[in-house]
Every structure is written in C-alpha cells, then in structure tokens.
Structure 1
Amino acid sequence: MKGADDLNKMVPVTILTGFLGAGKTTLLKRILTEYHGRRIAVIENEFGPEGIDNDLLVQDSEEEIVELSNGCVCCTVRGDLMRTLNDLRTRRQAGDLNFERVIIETTGMANPGPVCQTFFMDDEIADYYRLDAVITVVDAKHGMGTLDKQEEAQKQVGFADKILISKKDLVTEEEYQALRSRLVRINPRASIMPVHFGEADIKQLLDISGFNLNTILDIDPEFLAEEHPDAAHDHHHGHDHGHECDEHCGHHHHDHHHAHHDDQIGAFVFRSNKAFDPERLEEFLGGIVQVYGPDLMRYKGILYLKGINRRMLFQGVHMMMGAEPGKPWLSGEKPSTKMVFIGRKLPQEIFTRGLEQCLV
C-alpha cells in the first residue's frame, strides 16, 4: 500500500474525454496556455479535425506534446500508450524533459476504459504515474441527442469522476436540469458542473483524486431519492433492495419517468448494515468481475467486513479490482457497507442477491 509520500512523488495523470464538439480541445488549450505554474505533458491522439494545432502549442508553451502514431485511441492504443508513458518517464528521469503532470486527451469516440486500465496493468507505469481522474465534457445543446445515439458517449459519462457541461447558455434551465438528471442516473458518483471555458477554474480540474481509494464515496442525493423515494429513512434495513426486477434491471427502474431514454449504461447502489464474510465476498466479486468485467465501467465501495475493525476500501475498472484498508471504525460509529456499480445493462438483481449471500 502506498503512503502519502509515495503518492506525492508520483506523476498525476488526467484523462480528458468528451463528446465530439463539446469543447474538449478548447479546454485543453486553455489549461496549456494559462499560467498556473505547472508543466504538463500532453498525450494527444491526433484524430480528425479536432487535433490541436501543434505549431501553436510548441511555440507558446514549454510543454512537450507526444502524438500517438496510430490515430485512434479506442482500438490498439493500449500498447502504444504504455510505450509513450514509459518513454516520457525515461526522458524525465534522464532530465531531458521536465513536466509535473500528464493529460491524455482521447478522441470524441473513445471509450476511456482501456486507457484507465493501462495504469493498473503495468507495474512500471503503476509505480510512476498516479491516475488522478477522468474528466468528461458534455455539450448541453447536443448532449441528449448524443447520449441517445452513441453508447460510447454513455460510457464516457459512466467512467467520469467529474462531468463538465459546456454551452449551458444555449439551453433553457429546464433542458439543462433534464440533461443533468440523466447524467446522474448514468453516473451518480461524478460531480457535475457547468463550465464556461473562458473562465473554468483549472484548480477544480486537476488533483481530483478520483482513483484514490480514500476519497469519500459521494453519491448524488438526487439519484438516491429517485432510486428510493424514502431514501432518507432507509438506513435501518439490513439492505434496501426489495424491488422486483424486470428486464430493465440493471439500469434505472424508474423507467416510467424517462421512457424515452433507455440508457444502456446505468448505476445502482448496494448498502447493508450487516458485515460481509470476507472469503465469500472475495469469491463472489472475483466471479462477477470475470463474467461482467467488460460491462463494468467503474465500481467503488466502503466495505464492512467481519473480523476487521476498519473499513475496507475497494474500487475497480472493468476486470481490474483492488482493495486496501481504510480508517478504523470509530466507537460511536455504526459500521456499514456502501457500494456503487456503474456499467452496461448490469443485472442488478444478480449482484444484489449475490452480495446479500455474502453477508454474515
């Protein structure tokens, strides 16, 4: 387990993703040209007309731009990205390059999952770089239509730690709230903020620690209220998933509100005040990840385990899952479990029943 000092020495990496035309490149240019005392290496997959004008960047800033040769990030970039990151590391260690953080800009059509996994798969990369967060830019004007048409866009929302909504001034408040509610249903753990790229606070975009296990598992209250209308009063149950499941299980079961947006990607929360049997839980989660790994975007939890007097923190991306001990439970504190799963058509009933069977 890495201590705070180790984490401080690691190079933080932000993955910037978003819908085509939502303003990702504008945001990136702004991060690069605005002086904030940080030197950034950008890994850009040059793809289509959105690519940044290289002459502009190399002249105006000291950042080193690394292009991925194969163009599209979504198919074969994994090997390429590892090579690129290792090359940057070697050159930085040799003193040829000076940068403090890395931003990876993916194409408008890319699924950020394989990019995230790179940071968990290769030991050299995992020891040197710290994946900080996935930031997804959504266009308020076309966001609804893009989500309807492109599952890739839903995945980008599902992976996000922070969602920035651009062009809010082009829609009514009602349209904005409808889009925001939909984003919350797809991903209740990402913070959502409207952004004007001329004045986005860069500090709010860097050092989010979305992949740090100690960060609080915040879930948007709007999501909990929709999932359980009596969410405020449900903490005394051993669990609170007594609903029957239909074929929509695994996305939101309040389809009557949103019949026209049957998103493939959705989220659900599991809570319990009973302890898990650690061995049974490990076996169950191992099985779930084998079967549903490709459809799991992000999952994260604070676990109450039998025989362990501190909370266990766990998270995963696709098939990669990790856990580490967190703070001890305080004497007046009621230990409990809270887990959130975000993925594609996940069978909530199977997850919930399986997790319940792992309780002591």
Structure 2
Amino acid sequence: MAGNQVPVTILTGFLGSGKTTLLNRILKEDHGHRIAVIENEFGEEGVDNDLLLQERDEQIVEMNNGCICCTVRGDLIRILGDLAERREAGEIAFDRVIIETTGMADPGPVAQTFFIDDEIADRYLLDAVITVVDAVHGDKQLDEHTEAQEQVGFADRILMSKVDLADPAAQERLRERLMRINPRAPIKPVNFGNAPIAEILDIRGFNLNAILEIDPEFLTSDEHEHNDAIQSFVFRSKKPFDPAKLEDFLSGVIQVYGPDLLRYKGVLFMKGSDRQTVFQGVHMMMGADTGRRWQPGEKPSSKMVFIGRNLPRDMIVKGLEQCLA
C-alpha cells in the first residue's frame, strides 16, 4: 500500500497573502497534474457561510483541467477517507491533494492528522507545509498576530507573494526575519500567484531522511530587532549522544513544551552507531529513523533545529549537553 500513498500539501498563509490566487491557478492551469484541492473551513463561522452554503454539504466539483475542487466543512479525516474511497472505486481520479487551511491559525493539527489516524496514514503521505507570506504586509502581520508567526514556523517552504510591489530593502528585512523564525524553510518569491507547480509539490518536508536544510546565512545573522514569540535555535555538537539519556530528555521536553514546539528536526551522532539518526517532530509527535552511514573522512556531528513559541533555549541546550556521552 505504501507506494500507493497520495502526497498531500498543506497550504497556509495569512489573510490576503495570495493563497487563493495561487489555488485558482492550480485549479485552472494546464499543468498535467490531477490535484484534489480541499478548501477547509474547519467549521469556523465566517461571514459569507450563509450565502455560500445554504445546505451544509460538501461540494466536489471536477474542473476542466482534471483537478477536483472540494469545499468542505467539518472533519478533515472524514473528508479524506471519503475522497480515498471514491478514488479507489474509480468514481474520481486524483494523484495528489492540496489542503488550504482557510482562516485557521496553526497548521499543526492538520499536519498531525496524517500521523494520528492509521487509515489516513496508509492512504496519504504528508509532503510539506507551504506558507505564503505577503511581502508588503507580512512584517506588520508578524508584529500583530502570533498566528502569522506560527504559520511561518511550521513551513517547509515559504512563498513570498507581491514581491513586485514591495520596497526591496523592506523585503530583505522581512526575509531576514522569516529566516530567524524558521531557518529550515527556503524562501521563494512569487509574482501574481505565479509559482511554478514544481515549487509546491514533492518537497518531502516531512520525510525523515530528507536533507536537513538550514540556510547558511541564518547562522551568521544575529541582530534580533523583533522580539517574535516564535523563534528558532540550532544545537550542534561534535560529541556523540548517549541514546538513552537523549530519549529521556527529549520525551520530557515534549511532555512539557510540546504545544509550543512547532517543528523540531535533526541529524544526530549517536554513540555506538555508524549511521546518522534522523529525527523530527510536530508538537507532541516525534519520530526517529536510521539515516545513511557516516562517510569515510566525514566527522560525525549532531545538528538540531528547534522552532517554537517562547522556548527556554538555555535550558534545552544545557539539557542536550548533559545527554552527550
């Protein structure tokens, strides 16, 4: 079954960032992918709900380019299960899913769906969280809304929209700020919702064996003008970890700070192993996997990134140091 999993992209971004423009292009353009786009209202009472949906029903509409648009309310697990059954029965065809989290702050619960529910995990593979940030208003939104910071903290890739309208110096400042909040998400500019589909699909941001990307510039930039609640830090060590101590310590950190940990990820040097250990997590859910062998001439070392809300950085760093063998 595993080879047959449908890849899923979660598309998030603050109001007016250009998500909808992007989705409309995906639904209309001739890109050759059959994509099921789920616009998820998550039962929020929006102003226009009464106008849009007299009857509280899903609408599944097939578009001219073979994509499927699905406007849903309520339970994501039920919708995904329903779509998978219809696909298996040959009623509809799609080879990937994009979920737009309309007006929903933290993409975490949506991402966790793909780890918690076995039937969903068998049928779908969470590919990446993509966050669209408005180059003109993004800075102000990050100042005023921790939700906007959460969306950035969660991202595997950030698409910066309206770059043609933004002052270059302000844009560069915003870019540096985004990098401090989330050093592991590459930032790509988009014009008029014109992101090539390849920038959005098959990123494998949740694949434990994916390369741990940290922008090298992040490690050199240290001026923090913004006191963002969501911040990141990197832990590095050339000494090996004691596996039992590390597992105990990380379990404790997740128990206490899990709700405030958005994403954490690392490549670890474990005592007694000739292979890398790759780990990552979302909130309270953590997974680890054996990675590739350390190469001849390569100096084994550990590198971990933590992205979260008001994390006790010094306490976590000290604790990790105490787990070294």
Which residue is 2:18 aligned to?
Answer: 23
- For 2:203, the aligned partner's letter is I
1:64 aligns with 2:68: yes
Which residue is 2:286 aligned to?
Answer: 321
Pick from 142, 153, 157 the counterpart of residue 158 of structure 1. Answer: 153
Pick from 221, 234, 240 the counterpart of residue 216 of structure 2. Answer: 221
- For 1:298, the aligned partner's letter is R
Which residue is 2:81 aligned to?
Answer: 86
1:303 aligns with 2:274: no
CA distance in 2, matches of 1:59, 1:350: 52
- 296-305 vs 194-203, greater mean Cα deviation: 194-203
Question: Contact (CA 8 Å) 1:133, 1:210: kept in 2 or not?
Answer: yes
CA distance in 1, matches of 2:193, 2:70: 25
Q: In the TM superposition, what whole-angstrom CA distance separates every residue of 1:226-259 from its partner, at most 9, and x where no partner exists? A: 24xxxxxxxxxxxxxxxxxxxxxxxxxx44xx0x
CA distance in 2, matches of 1:180, 1:353: 30
Which residue is 1:263 aligned to?
Answer: 228
- For 2:320, the aligned partner's letter is L
Percent identity between matched residues is: 61
Partner SS state of residue 31, structure 2: coil
CA distance in 2, matches of 1:110, 1:207: 24
Q: In the TM superposition, what are the counterparts of 1:142-291 in structure 2 within 5 Å?
A: 142-197=137-192, 199-227=194-222, 254-255=223-224, 258=225, 261-291=226-256
CA distance in 2, matches of 1:272, 1:100: 41
Question: Contact (CA 8 Å) 1:17, 1:136: kept in 2 or not?
Answer: yes
**Which has more strand, going by share of residues?**
2
Q: In the TM superposition, what are the counterparts of 1:321-340 in structure 2 within 5 Å?
A: 321-340=286-305
CA distance in 1, matches of 2:202, 2:48: 29
Question: Contact (CA 8 Å) 2:160, 2:188: kept in 1 or not?
Answer: yes
Quick one: structure 1 residues 49 and 267, their matched pair in 2 at CA, closer, same or farther if it must change by over 3 Å?
A: farther
CA distance in 1, matches of 2:35, 2:52: 15
Aligned-residue offset at 1:96 = 1.5
- For 2:152, the aligned partner's letter is V
CA distance in 2, matches of 1:149, 1:353: 32
CA distance in 1, matches of 2:134, 2:203: 21
Question: Contact (CA 8 Å) 2:27, 2:69: kept in 1 or not?
Answer: no
Quick one: structure 1 residues 55 and 120, their matched pair in 2 at CA, closer, same or farther if it must change by over 3 Å?
A: closer
CA distance in 2, matches of 1:200, 1:213: 26
CA distance in 2, matches of 1:100, 1:35: 15
CA distance in 1, matches of 2:25, 2:299: 46
Q: TM-score, normalised by structure 2?
A: 0.92
CA distance in 1, matches of 2:72, 2:60: 18
Gaps of 5+ in 1: 1-5, 71-79, 228-253
CA distance in 1, matches of 2:62, 2:88: 21
Question: Contact (CA 8 Å) 1:109, 1:153: kept in 2 or not?
Answer: no
Which residue is 1:240 aligned to?
Answer: none
Aligned-residue offset at 1:60 = 3.5
Partner SS state of residue 32, structure 1: helix
- 56-65 vs 89-98, greater mean Cα deviation: 56-65
Question: Contact (CA 8 Å) 1:299, 1:342: kept in 2 or not?
Answer: yes
Q: In the TM superposition, what whole-angstrom CA distance separates every residue of 1:274-320 from its partner, at most 9, and x where no partner exists? A: 00000111111111111000000000000110111100110000000
- 162-171 vs 312-321, greater mean Cα deviation: 162-171
- For 2:233, the aligned partner's letter is F
Partner SS state of residue 60, structure 1: coil
Superposition CA RMSD, Å: 2.2
Quick one: structure 1 residues 48 and 197, their matched pair in 2 at CA, closer, same or farther if it must change by over 3 Å?
A: farther
Partner SS state of residue 286, structure 1: helix
Q: TM-score, normalised by structure 1?
A: 0.83
Question: Contact (CA 8 Å) 1:66, 1:84: kept in 2 or not?
Answer: no
Gaps of 5+ in 2: none
Aligned-residue offset at 1:106 = 0.6
- 201-210 vs 262-271, greater mean Cα deviation: 201-210
